[in-house]
Each structure stands twice: as C-alpha cells, then as structure tokens.
Structure 1
C-alpha cells in the first residue's frame, strides 16, 4: 500500500479510507516520512487514538497540534504566547475556564431559539432559488453567524471571517505564495479592531468577557487575545460547516437512508447526526509530541517524536464499530470521537449539535429532491475534511 497522509490530493473527495484501513490492519502505529521534517507516527486505531488524546502527560499539545513544526518566524511572532489548543493542563485548564461557561450544554440550549431563527433566515434566502452552492450559501452561514453573535460582531463580518478560515485551512501548496499568512494577518488586523472597541466599550459578549477576564490573577495581553480570537473563529465553523455539507452529500449518496430519516425527522435526527459525525469526521487529525519514551500499540515511541491521531480512521475502526464503512443512521451506542476526547474535547460540541439539528430541520423540510449540479470541490487540506463548494439543485418543499 502506498501510504501518503500529507498530500492534500489524497484527501480530494474525502478521507483516504483505503489507506486508513490498511494501516489499522497492518501497521496501526505507522512511521510516516515527512519531507523537510523528521517524520511522525500515524495512529489509526480507535483505542490508540483515544488513549493518546487522553494522556496529556505523555503526549503533549506543545509546541503545536499541526504536523509541521512552527517555523522560526512563527515562533518569534508571538514570543512566549500560545494558542489554547497548544497548551497542556493546568495552563490549558485555566484558559479553557475563561470561556467554558458560554459553551456548556445549558448555555448552548439557551441559544437554541436564536439558532433556529437564524436557520430559518438562511433557508428563507435560498428556498426559491432552485440551485445553490450549498457550502457557501447554506452550510457556511450558520456557524459564521453564531460565532459573530457570540463575539458581538456584525453578522456580515462573520461571513468574511469564515472566508479567511477557509484560506487558513487550505494546504500552502494549493495557494498562491504567502496567501495563508496574509489571511492570518487579516484576521489579526480585524481582531485588533475588536480589541480596541471592546476594551473601550465592553458589552455582554464573549469578546468583551475574554478581554476583561483574568487568568492566574492577570488580564490577557494583546497577543493572547488575538490567538484566542483566531481559535474561536477558526474552530467555531469547522465541524458544523463540513458536517452539514458532507452530511447532505452522504445522504444523497445513500437514498434509502435519506428516506428513512425523512419518515420521522424529529425523532431520528439525533442518532443520524451522530452517525454523520462519525462517518464524515470533519477534523482529520491532531498532533501530539511525546514527552518521554513510551510504548503505543506495541510500538516504541521516543521522547520528542510526533504522534498524530487520525480521527477519521478511528471512527471507521471495525474493532469498535460494526460495518464501519457503511452509513447506519440508527447506529446504537455511537461512541465516535469526531469531537476528540480528554482535556481537549471540543468545547463547542453542544452548540455545534444544536446548529446542525436546526439547519438540517430547516433544509430537509423546506428543500427536497436534492441532486448535485456539479461535482463537489473538496477543501485542499489534510487537516479539515469537507467540500469547499457543492452546487446542488433542489425543489422547494
């Protein structure tokens, strides 16, 4: 088997499940070469991925959760400051507490009515068109609007920030030189404006709370706010946007399952949503770095080695899921790890589920007879999986 988990071309059209399957069966902790880098361990079985994600003492999120090490330029741009995703407890715990109250299950449900209202508005804008780019005009709108409202930003600005995140997630080789860095620069430039505004005129929004909150008895410094802002905007849209578009595509490709879901949408949607999360796994991987010599799945890992967890593979592991490559919307006891697990489990998962349900209910009850108007164009990324563009035709229900 020709194993290549770095080239974005291998992720065009979805995740390389043939490679993942071979690795789980023959080499579940696989040493993967890395052009220009030292290489990394690709971890593909469910139990191993779950174990790595939970053991932060052995597998650290520092210096980065990306496969490529930070460049010297990136390492000096923010000095000692790090994004929360690239911290370990207890430091990570302190920063997570700053925003945790906004993302608990009860807090998320308080926003349910507003999210349903936004879903109606989004479908109102497209229901009569008959043909749309489902990613840009439907799936991408909801998370953009929700994170904008959370942060106290104009809704249209949320859409513009979402466009920047798409560029940030695209593999550098698929972009013009410097495009990714330019997108990050624009994000930080916008965040500096938010920082000045909320510092001078704070309101009851998440951006104001972060600016005026304290960690270990001190206020966040400007670079820490910028990194927090980038994380919230970036992570706030990934799963929802890609699950909605990738999930609709999976339903179109499995019409019997689609019909089953529509026979009792309200009752069947929760189980279907969890299965679509497992089946599509929008976040492909997260990296950790070994803090000591250890063993994983019978393989010796050395201190300093990169260890990369492939969630898309773990969620198709036959040792955990029956018929893992089949879509089974009524799958019982679906313990997928599309949101990760352990200390870094996705903080926004409760909000994401409410957004997904609200959008699917509006879309699937008000639009019908979906068909592709052109082949989907997938995001050129080995980190985030989902269509970048997906033109669909439909009839108004």
Structure 2
C-alpha cells in the first residue's frame, strides 16, 4: 500500500482510515519518507503510542509537537509552553497552571460553561437549518473568553483570529493571527497585573507559583502565561469545535444513537462524551524526538529520530476497542487517547468535556434529532482535523395533542 501521511488529500476526503488499518495490521512501526528531510517513524498501535507518551525521558517534546513545525517558532517557546516542554520544567509549569484549573475551581468553571452553552444554544435552536460549524466554533471561543475575563466586545474578534491562526491555508495569515493573539494577551495580562479580577488570567498571574525545587518558588513569567493562555485557547478551540460537529454528524447519520442517548438520560451523557472524543480525535498526531537509542515493538529507533504518534489510529485499534469503526454512545470501557496520555495529557481536557456534556444536555432536552441538509466537508490537516462544514436541520421535539 502507498503511504503518504503528508498528503492533505485523504484528510480532506475523510478516507485515510484504511491506511491506518493497514499500518496497524502490517507495519505498526513504519518508516515514512520525507521529500525534504530524513523521514520519520509512524506509530499506529494504541499500546506503542501509549508507551511513548509515558516515556518523556526517551521521547522529547522540546523539538516540536507536530510535523511541519517552524524550528524558529518552536525554539521561541520551548520549555515555556507546556506542549513543547520536558520534565522537570513541564512538571513545574503544569503543576502551576493546574492551580488555576484545579478541582477547587471546577464547580465554578462547570457552572460558567453551562451558562455560556445555554445562551449559545438558545441563539440557534429556533433556526430551521444552518451550518452547525457556525455554532461549534463559537462554543469553545465563548467559554475560554468568559473564563479569561476577555471583554464581551472582543469575543467575536478573538474567535475570528483563532480560526485564522489554526484553519487558514496561508502560513503568513496563521503566523500573523498568532502574533495578534500573543500581543492581545500580553496587553490583557498587564491590565490584570495592575487590576486583578476573578478570571483565569488573574489567578494565573497572582495566585500561582512555579516550584523550582529545594523550597524555591516563583511566579510565572509574562511569557509563560501568554504562551500557555494561547495554548489553552487553541486546545479548547480545536477539540470542542471538531468534536461537537462530529457528534452531530454521527447523530444525523445514526438516529438510533440519538434515541439511545435520550433514553439513557443524564447518566448517559458522560460515556457519550467519551465516545464522541474517541470517534472524532481532533488531535490527529503528536511528534516526539528520540533522545537515546531505543526500541519500539521490536524495531530499533536511533537517537535524533522523530517519532509520530497517530492518535486517530490508536483510537480505532481493533486490539483495544470492540467494533472500533462503530459509533456507540454507551461504549464502556473507552480508553481513548484523544487528549494524549501520561505527562502530556491535555490541561484543558476537563474543560472540553464540560463543554461537550453541556451541549448534549441542552440538545437532548429540546431536540428529537438532526438531519443533514447539505454536503459534509472536512479540513485538510494531518494535525488538527475535523468537519469544517456541516449543514443541518434541527428536528424539534413534537408535542402531542393534549400535552401540558
């Protein structure tokens, strides 16, 4: 089989699944050529990918998190941004940021998410047909903006910038949008340093400390805060947007799953969210650089080699999941790795789960289902992937004659 995971075509057509099925069965540690480089390793099995995620000493994140990364951009944020940091700095940063997103703040965050989702759903539930991605892309943006205390007047602009930064086909546009986001956060941080409020940026700036070891503690630097706020914004954007759209697509294609979710009630929401995350897996791959000679599944890997971890393949691994190509809202157990695994498990995983759960609850209360009203289109990325256009018709709950 011809394997080219650098070709955007199969991702735009949503027909790359057979490639990964073949790799899992025939070449789970595959050497992939590169037109202008030394090539890289492709891991497709859940067990191999999980093992690499948990061995951060052998498999470093500091060299970049994705294929095609700009080395200069990576160098600028290495060891200051979670996703391109290794221990011990990664551990210190994550522990510090966790203070602002920790269990003690979860009830307030969940309530805020439910409020934002209810308001957003209300704007769309009275419409007959619309492109669901218009709702889906606003969901994470509004939640993160509310959490960070960004003025409401700036929400739409931040949403447009975020879309440009991660979805634009033009590299210069993406770079420019990221720069604008960084500058905006820097200005917002200066304001919060002077006038703290009850928001995420204020808590990170004033209430969190990095443990340097030996009893030494320090506040996060401005750069660490800004880089990681951008990371939270981007992580929330890509995961929730594509997962929400993917969920509605499946419910339109498989109305029996929507009926089952409604029958299960609130107790069915949590497992449904996990299945949505497994099925959609917006974070397609992650990259690691090998620090010392090692072996993966019997294959020798040399120091300096790059290894790619294909989460989309791991989450359809036949060894771990029964009927992996079937969308099942009541799937248990569900050991997916949509948020990565181990030390680099996504910091915003709880937030994404809250958002998806709140959306499903709103919809199950008011809708009988969804119908597709036009062609479904996907983006062409091998890094963050999902539906970019989903025209739908909402099927509203029918009220029987004589009902109260």
**TM-score normalised per structure 2:** 0.90
Q: 2-side partners of 1:15 and 1:286: how far apart?
A: 20
CA 1:252/1:303 → structure 2, altered by over 3 Å: closer, same or farther?
A: same
In structure 1, the residue matched to 2:82 is 84
**Residues 69-108 of structure 1 mapped to structure 2, 5 A cutoff:** 69-72=69-72, 74=73, 78=76, 82-105=80-103, 107-108=105-106
1:300 to partner: Cα distance:
0.8
In structure 1, the residue matched to 2:195 is 201
Q: 2-side partners of 1:79 and 1:98: how far apart?
A: 17
CA 1:49/1:320 → structure 2, altered by over 3 Å: closer, same or farther?
A: same
Gaps of 5+ in 1: none
Moved more, 44-53 or 267-276: 267-276
CA 1:127/1:355 → structure 2, altered by over 3 Å: closer, same or farther?
A: same
**TM-score normalised per structure 1:** 0.92
> CA offsets, 1:220-246, max 9 Å, x none?
443333312211111122222211111
User: 2:328 aligned with 1:334, yes or no?
Assistant: no
Q: 2-side partners of 1:184 and 1:25: how far apart?
A: 39
1:283 to partner: Cα distance:
1.0
In structure 2, the residue matched to 1:181 is 175
Q: What SS is found at the alignment partner of 1:279?
A: helix
> Residue 287 of structure 1 contacts residue 306 of structure 1 at CA under 8 Å; is this kept in 2?
yes
1:123 to partner: Cα distance:
1.4
> Residue 74 of structure 2 contacts residue 84 of structure 2 at CA under 8 Å; is this kept in 1?
no
Of residues 121, 129, 138, the one that matches 1:141 is: 138
Q: 1-side partners of 2:74 and 2:248: how far apart?
A: 40
In structure 2, the residue matched to 1:313 is 313
In structure 2, the residue matched to 1:109 is 107
CA 1:106/1:319 → structure 2, altered by over 3 Å: closer, same or farther?
A: farther
Q: What SS is found at the alignment partner of 2:38?
A: coil
In structure 1, the residue matched to 2:235 is 235
User: 2:123 aligned with 1:125, yes or no?
Assistant: yes
User: 2:361 aligned with 1:361, yes or no?
Assistant: yes
In structure 2, the residue matched to 1:41 is 41
Gaps of 5+ in 2: 398-404
Q: 1-side partners of 2:394 and 2:172: how far apart?
A: 38
1:196 to partner: Cα distance:
2.1
Q: 2-side partners of 1:251 and 1:75: how far apart?
A: 39
Q: 2-side partners of 1:223 and 1:80: how far apart?
A: 11
**Residues 143-162 of structure 1 mapped to structure 2, 5 A cutoff:** 143-162=140-159
Q: 1-side partners of 2:367 and 2:342: how far apart?
A: 38
> CA offsets, 1:18-53, max 9 Å, x none?
111000001101111223222111100010010000
Q: 1-side partners of 2:154 and 2:378: how far apart?
A: 24
Q: 1-side partners of 2:268 and 2:183: how far apart?
A: 44
Q: 2-side partners of 1:385 and 1:290: how far apart?
A: 25
**Residues 211-230 of structure 1 mapped to structure 2, 5 A cutoff:** 211-212=205-206, 213-215=208-210, 216=212, 217-230=217-230
Q: What SS is found at the alignment partner of 1:126?
A: helix
1:305 to partner: Cα distance:
0.7
CA 1:13/1:101 → structure 2, altered by over 3 Å: closer, same or farther?
A: farther
Q: What SS is found at the alignment partner of 1:393?
A: strand
Q: 1-side partners of 2:191 and 2:100: how far apart?
A: 21
Matched residues, number: 391
In structure 2, the residue matched to 1:167 is 164
1:267 to partner: Cα distance:
2.6
User: CA RMSD of the aligned region, Å?
Assistant: 2.1
Moved more, 86-95 or 114-123: 114-123
